Amino acid sequence: MEEGRRASARQRAWIVAGIVAAGLAAALGLVIGPLLGGLFVGTALVTLLPLSMRDSPRICAWTCLVTGLGLLVWALIGAVIGMFLFIPAALILVIGAFVGPGAGSRPGP
């Protein structure tokens, strides 16, 4: 029933904060390692997925959760080459999945 409801302003703010953090991490990654810049840009582009799902809050929440957890795993695996800079963005996306006034916008109980 609530599937057609738009994402709340709070949920969109958390998504945008995660994307900004990822963008800053990507910019810093480009400065730190020009040879590894492609990995940083590719990782930052993945964080744009939740924005394309913002019209349906439940799908957006699931996308935030999956993207955040995947980004967190990638950041820990790639910590040696500087991917740890994406940990704040990953945590913000995971938190953003559970932010919302209604139960229809959350992935879990």
What CA–CA distance (Å, rounded) separates 18 from 50? 10
Q: What's the pLDDT at 3?
A: 56
pLDDT digits (tens, 9 = 90+) for 31-90: 777 767 778 778 888 888 888 887 888 888 888 899 999 999 988 888 887 788 888 888
Q: Both ends of the chain: CA-CA distance in Å? A: 17
| Residues 6 or more apart in contact with residue 95 via CB below 8 angstroms | 14, 68
CB 89 within 8 A of CB 25: yes
pLDDT value of position 79: 84
Q: Are 7 and 60 in contact (CB under 8 A)?
A: yes
pTM value is: 0.64
